[in-house]
Amino acid sequence: MTALPSVSVNSCPTIAAVATAPGVGGLSVIRISGPKAQSVGQKLSGSKKKNLKPRYAKYTPIVSPSGTNIDSGIITYFPLPNSYTGEDVIEVACHGGSVISSQVLEACFSFGCKPAEPGEFTKRAFLNGKMDLIQAEAVASLIMSSSSLSKEANYRILSGQFSKIINDLKFSLLDLVVTLEAELDFTEEEITPLSTNKKLSLLSDAVSGVDDLLATYHTGKMLERGALVVLVGKPNVGKSSLLNSILSEERTIVSDAPGTTRDAVEVPFLIKGFPVRFVDTAGMRDADSIVEQKGVKFSRKYIKKADLVINVFDAKDNNGESIEKDLFSPNPSYVRHLRVFNKVDLVTKRSDHKRNGETFFTSALTGDGIDPLLEAIYNNLVGTPLLSNQVIINSSRHHEALQRVSSCLGATKVGLKREDPLDVVASDLRISVSILDELLGVTTADDILENVFSKFCIGK
Q: What percent of the chain has pLDDT over 90?
A: 48
The three-state DSSP-derived secondary structure of the chain is CCECCCCCCCCCCCEEEECCCCCCCCEEEEEEECCCHHHHHHHHHCCCCCCCCECCCEEEEEECCCCCEEEEEEEEEECCCCCCCCCCEEEEEEECCHHHHHHHHHHHHHCCCEECCCCHHHHHHHHCCCCCHHHHHHHHHHHCCCCHHHHHHHHHHHCCHHHHHHHHHHHHHHHHHHHHHHHHHCCCCCCCCCCHHHHHHHHHHHHHHHHHHHCCHHHHHHHHHCEEEEEEECCCCCHHHHHHHHHCCCCCCCCCCCCCCCCCEEEEEEECCEEEEEEECCCCCCCCCHHHHHHHHHHHHHHHHCCEEEEEEECCHHHHCCHHHHCCCCCCCCCCEEEEEECHHHCCCCCCCCCCCCEEECCCCCCCCHHHHHHHHHHHHHCCCCCCCCCCCCCHHHHHHHHHHHHHHHHHHHHHHCCCCHHHHHHHHHHHHHHHHHHHCCECCHHHHHHHHCCCCCCC
Which amino acid is located at 33 in the chain? S
For residue 292, what pLDDT is reported? Answer: 52
pTM across the whole model = 0.80
For residue 386, what pLDDT is reported? Answer: 60
What band does 256 get if pLDDT is binned at 50, 70 and 90? very low
- Answer yes or no: is pLDDT of 327 > 60: no
Residue-wise pLDDT tens digits, 163-210:
999 999 999 999 998 888 887 776 665 667 788 888 899 999 999 999
What band does 128 get if pLDDT is binned at 50, 70 and 90? very high
For residue 127, what pLDDT is reported? Answer: 93
For residue 78, what pLDDT is reported? Answer: 97
Q: Which CATH superfamily is domain 15-132 in?
A: Probable tRNA modification gtpase trme; domain 1 (3.30.1360.120)
For residue 319, what pLDDT is reported? Answer: 40
Mean pLDDT of the chain: 83
Question: What does the pLDDT average to over 243-249?
Answer: 85
CATH code for residues 151-216+392-440: 1.20.120.430
Residue-wise pLDDT tens digits, 414-432:
988 888 888 888 888 999 9
Residue-wise pLDDT tens digits, 12-58:
899 999 999 888 888 999 999 999 999 999 999 987 776 789 999 99
Q: Which class for 442: exposed (0-12), middle (13-18), buried (19 or more C-beta within 10 A)?
A: middle
For residue 252, what pLDDT is reported? Answer: 45
d(CA 7, CA 129): 9
Per-residue burial over 104-128, b = 16 or more CB atoms within 10 Å of its CB, e = otherwise:
bbebbeebbbeebebbbbbbbbbbb
Cβ(409)–Cβ(207) under 8 Å? yes
Give 278's strand partners. Answer: 229, 267
Cβ(140)–Cβ(460) under 8 Å? yes
d(CA 200, CA 196): 6
Worst-scoring range by mean pLDDT, 86-100, 215-229, 274-288?
A: 274-288
- Answer yes or no: is pLDDT of 10 > 70: no
d(CA 243, CA 353): 27
Question: What does the pLDDT average to over 208-232?
Answer: 92
- Answer yes or no: is pLDDT of 324 > 60: no
d(CA 17, CA 153): 28
In the chain, what are the domain boundaries?
15-132, 151-216+392-440, 225-382
CATH code for residues 225-382: 3.40.50.300
Question: What does the pLDDT average to over 378-396?
Answer: 80
Give 29's strand partners. Answer: 93
